[in-house]
Structure 1
Amino acid sequence: MVKRCGLAGLFLALALAGSARAEGKQITWSVFGAAPYTIVDGENRDNGISDRIRRLLTARLPDYSHFTMLVPFPRVLASLKSGEEWCFVGGVKTPERESFAVFSRPVAMFYPLRIVVRAENRARFEALGPLSLRNLLTEHRSLRTSVLRDRAIAPAADALFRQYPPSQTYSEFGEAFRMLLNGRLDYLVEFSSIATYHAQALGAPDAFVGLPFAEENQEPVFPRVMCAGTPWGREVVARIDAVLAEERASPAYRSIVEAWAAEADLPRIRAVYDSFLASD
């Protein structure tokens, strides 16, 4: 069961975790709503890509007590920095994060990255010429965008957002797509599967289009399990890597990685699956 983490709930969960730690090994799986990777409500609850991977790992690590905690993403990072015995399925490895977390082999892929706009505005953006995020952030500042606080998307996009930060940030994906749908944002930089899922969740499956742009990732971005960078975390990640080595080539695991992908993206995902298997 996924528990929502108010302050009282957090203290209770940590107390329970402390009790479990006294009795044996434990993992607190932190969850942040990022459908279709982690789905925290609705009819597809707990059936996202990262959710299914988390259940697989939980089943394969029976000697650990497992707790699941729903928290904002900045709280995930703060807990890892403080050395809590927490793990998160779906973290992107960056040099900054490697200073406080340890990462498993890749568990899935984020691909392809797009400039997502309302369908009615497609011609407006295409008229700007070959799309460039740099140009949008420097020459078209009146076009409004937003980013998730503390998120790592892809190296080129991350560098541009650091250099030219948008004037606003958001705390959860549904909020951003509602703002885009309602005209309070003009575009988002987002992965195709995430945009497709949220359009359907908003009851407007044809509301958004994803446009290629110059700085998009030509290779997939690989999310991983990230755990606290402690001896405990390194031990857990070693166990996780052993499970992934056995599972990632199986048809069942492929079906997890491909779940929720747009039909048009499946050939691209399948074409790079071998590089996913070879990655570490």
Structure 2
Amino acid sequence: MVKRCGLAGLVVALALAGPARAEGEQITWTVYEAPPFMMAEGEERNTGIFDRIRRLLTARLTEYSQSTLTVPFPRILTSLKQGAEWCFVGGVRTPEREGFAVFSRPVAMFYPLRIVVRAENRARFEALGPLSLRNLLTEHRALRTSMLRNRAIAPGIDALFRQYPPGQTHSEFGEAFRMLLNDRLDYLVEFSSSAAYHARLLGAPDAFVGFPFAEENPEPVFARVMCAGTPWGREVVARIDAVLAAERASPAYREIVEAWAAEADLPRIRAVYDTFLASD
């Protein structure tokens, strides 16, 4: 009887431990439509910069079963705050997000940042002199812009948008560029690769021009893998960091980082790649 009870107890313990261990070996990758970084739809599906990095990580992290879930970015943040054991390729590390998430070393870079306007409005913005986002948001508030909800671009830019919130927000990148093209916005603060991609997608490759501005970060903003800030998340990020340490210096990985970049921006991206490799 004692042996039988002991065996029953062992069976119960294994039954309880089994699901927890299975859950710990699962990675749910979250994605949404944000080309050219993530392409969740259409003929170019899974060919974005972060998509290709996610596929590389998936191929290396063979000890985990893995799945992909398409959800809006605000829900990704909300779910991570609630403890969902998800990961997202492309998160920007901020003090607020470090309260509920853990971040890998950089996987790619957002660079360079521009004030993007319709090409037909080039002279109008050139007449404003050296551009400053602060001036646009304060002295030229009649000029319409929008920001992606819950987005982190760069600390100085984020602070300006918090202090002087634009009149509207958008939920996905394509929506904002359609509004800009259709004269429902006057400018966007965006990365040049994103502007070039959406112009092409909208069938108007020469529709937009990008201007440097005073608050533009001289250094790139690094994108990272963002996972739940739990013991599970820390373990997954440690494994991801090991993969990145082995892969990031390779020509194949450099090709991923440079994918979709405007030709004119490649020298600047290549010039800061060593900084990218040295960052943790």
TM-score (norm 1): 0.92
Question: Any unmatched runs of 5+ in structure 1?
Answer: 1-17
Find the counterpart in structure 1 of residue 29 from structure 2. 29
> Which consecutive segments of 4 or more residues in structure 1 shift more than 2 A?
18-24
Find the counterpart in structure 2 of residue 9 from structure 1. none
Hey, what's the Cα distance between the residues in 2 that align with 1:213 and 1:232?
41
SS in 1 for 2:221: coil
How far did residue 22 of structure 1 move?
Answer: 3.8
Hey, what's the Cα distance between the residues in 1 that align with 2:123 and 2:269?
27
After superposition, give the CA deviation of every residue in 1:84-114 in whole Å (9 maximum; x if it has no partner).
1100000000000000000000000000000
Hey, what's the Cα distance between the residues in 1 that align with 2:209 and 2:23?
51
How far did residue 24 of structure 1 move?
Answer: 5.9
Hey, what's the Cα distance between the residues in 2 that align with 1:149 and 1:190?
14
- The share of aligned pairs that are identical, in percent, is 83
Aligned partners of 1:143 and 1:187 also within 8 Å? yes
Match for 1:60: what amino acid? R
How far did residue 42 of structure 1 move?
Answer: 2.2
Hey, what's the Cα distance between the residues in 2 that align with 1:23 and 1:105?
24
- Equivalent pairs counted in the alignment come to 263
Hey, what's the Cα distance between the residues in 1 that align with 2:22 and 2:247?
31
Name the Cα RMSD after superposition: 1.3
Match for 1:225: what amino acid? V
Aligned partners of 1:148 and 1:169 also within 8 Å? yes
TM-score (norm 2): 0.92
Question: Any unmatched runs of 5+ in structure 2?
Answer: 1-17
Q: Which has the larger radius of gyration?
A: 2
Find the counterpart in structure 2 of residue 256 from structure 1. 256
In the TM superposition, 1:114-153 aligns within 5 A as: 114-153=114-153
In the TM superposition, 1:9-88 aligns within 5 A as: 22=22, 25-88=25-88
How far did residue 45 of structure 1 move?
Answer: 1.0
Match for 1:103: what amino acid? F
Hey, what's the Cα distance between the residues in 1 that align with 2:158 and 2:137?
12
How far did residue 23 of structure 1 move?
Answer: 6.6
Aligned partners of 1:20 and 1:26 also within 8 Å? no
After superposition, give the CA deviation of every residue in 1:213-264 in whole Å (9 maximum; x if it has no partner).
0001110000000000000000000000000000000000000000000000
Aligned partners of 2:24 and 2:232 also within 8 Å? no
